[in-house]
Amino acid sequence: MAETKSSRFPIYAVIATVAFKLLFLLTHYIQEDAFITWRVAQNLLDYGVIGFNGDAKISASTTHFYVFVSYLFNLVFGKENFIEPLLIFNSILFTIGTLLLSHLVLKNPWHKAIFIFLIGILPPAIKISILGMEYGILFFLEMALLYYGFHKGKKWMLTLLPVLIMFTRIDTVIFLGIVFLVDLFWNRKIRWNYIFGGILGVLSTVAFNWFYFGELVNNTITAKKLLYSENFTIQQHIGYFFKSFGNFWGMLKVPGNFNPMTVVILIFELLCFIYLIRQREKRNYFLWMIFIFGWVKQIIFISQKSLFDWYYWVPQLLLFVPVLIFVLEQKEKRNLWLSLLVIFYIFPMFVFQTVHCIATGNGEWNYRRTIGTFLNQYEKDKNQWILLEPAGYVPYFSGLKTIDEVGLVDKQIQEEIKKDKVNYWINTVKTRKPKYLLSYQNLYEGNSENSLYYQTHYRLLKEFRVKDHLKSDNKILEKIYNLKPSGTDYNLYIRVD
């Protein structure tokens, strides 16, 4: 009876972890790109087209599968009420994913329960759960593949899950490839069901892109590569790496060129991994998979100058797994090890992320969202266009047709970038004549031909300033807002002719 009860501890831990993290929904910290996916889902609902602006087809979201999931939640709960249920759904799926992972690497139910909770409150886990991105679903699918496909030997899972994983994000080919290679070297045989699933996943994703959008890869990849591509010297590559690596292998985005905490954790992760794989346990099979994937994914994306931190959430967590296993399985002074880990790392990380969520949630929801709601009330004609960056909050809450600077949601601007990358913004304004411009800069400054054009054809409608949203009746919240102001000052212009 006691054994049966203890075997339920991991399930209780899942419930407790999800319930605990639901408090973060109060921060309203939702990633900008989530609103791009949700607008695509609502565009599908309204026009029957996967797009962003009416009936024009465009893969504005990086994830097809999550678009369809978001579409279903909009359909069931309505446009006004789907966000919270979807965030809860994401959090539940992610936490179930950590449960499956605990089954792969731990035996003791108590250890599993502690593992689930501690990994669930690390910064990347909180962000995966509440920021509205597709990584909650993705993490669940990847861990389900390892557990049901490779641990339980369910052949149909080896075929189905790679398709769903690839359809969620095309870059998951890295994860699927690493898993295949480790399995091949470990078992010295080929799982043909998995090969078939991988091929089917690639073909279905590419075929969907080609036959629906007329492109092989998502437009988001094409647009970012077009705008952000630069030629770096070897010295610049090295300098860029040392300036950026601390943001990715650690769990903190610390400004500056050197982050000693990241180096310490990185070394500790490596030492714990080496210690564990020397024990010749069956779980080493999965430890090799997740640890090699964590390294490879980060190295590839850092080498491609991918700054967006969500690319690194899953690798950050998987690389930290050996640390938690090492501490939980200490036979002597386990409580001391665990206490030190919680007090000096996990709890400070949790506090940092809490402050970050509150401050950034204020900057996004209470500030940037108000730009969209202002435009929604001011402009009743939703066929009018706005040129801006980024394409999340403001387009979603304004309902206006949108041209974004990067070209994620509008392909025409990509043609202007190809023709004249330096002047593509002003050229787009002149040729497309959008009714609204939302800019970080004062477009009237200077005596150039461009500033004269803006002064002639556009009027400053409203200024939006971060400093105006740093007040709260709650003094603690106000201190947090001022400690870490989040957002960017904007100027909103309206066309006068």
226 alpha-carbon distance from chain centroid: 21
Q: Is residue 151 part of a domain?
A: no
Domain count, the chain: 1
Distance, in Å, from the CA atom of 481 to the CA atom of 474, rounded to the nearest integer, reads 11
Q: Is residue 478 part of a domain?
A: yes
Q: Is residue 469 part of a domain?
A: yes
Q: Is residue 418 part of a domain?
A: yes
Q: What is the mean pLDDT of the chain?
A: 90
Please report the sign of the dihedral spanned by the C-alpha atoms of residue 375, residue 379, residue 381, residue 383: negative
Q: Is residue 246 part of a domain?
A: no
Q: Is residue 459 part of a domain?
A: yes
pLDDT digits (tens, 9 = 90+) for 10-26: 999 999 999 999 999 99
| Cβ proximity of 142 and 297 under 8 Å | no
Distance, in Å, from the CA atom of 55 to the CA atom of 47, rounded to the nearest integer, reads 6
Distance, in Å, from the CA atom of 113 to the CA atom of 17, rounded to the nearest integer, reads 10
Q: Is residue 486 part of a domain?
A: yes
- Residue 181's pLDDT band (cuts 50, 70, 90): very high
- Residue 217's pLDDT band (cuts 50, 70, 90): confident
Question: Which of 399-402's residues contact partners 24+ apart within 8 Å by CB, and which partners?
Answer: 400/375, 400/436, 401/53, 401/54, 402/52, 402/53
Q: Is residue 363 part of a domain?
A: yes
* Token pair 């899972």: residue: 157
**What are phi and psi for residue 208, nearest 5 degrees?**
-60, -45
Q: What residue numbers bound the domain in which 483 lies?
A: 359-495
> Residue 332 in 3-state DSSP?
coil
Torsion of CA 7, 11, 17, 22, to 10 degrees: -160
Q: Are strands 436-439 and 490-495 parallel, antiparallel or unpaired?
A: antiparallel
Question: If you average pLDDT over residues 175-180, what whole number do you get?
Answer: 97
**Residue count (the chain):** 497
pLDDT digits (tens, 9 = 90+) for 94-152: 999 999 999 999 999 999 999 999 999 999 999 999 999 999 999 999 999 999 999 99
Q: List the end-to-end C-alpha distance of the chain, in Å, as a whole number.
A: 79
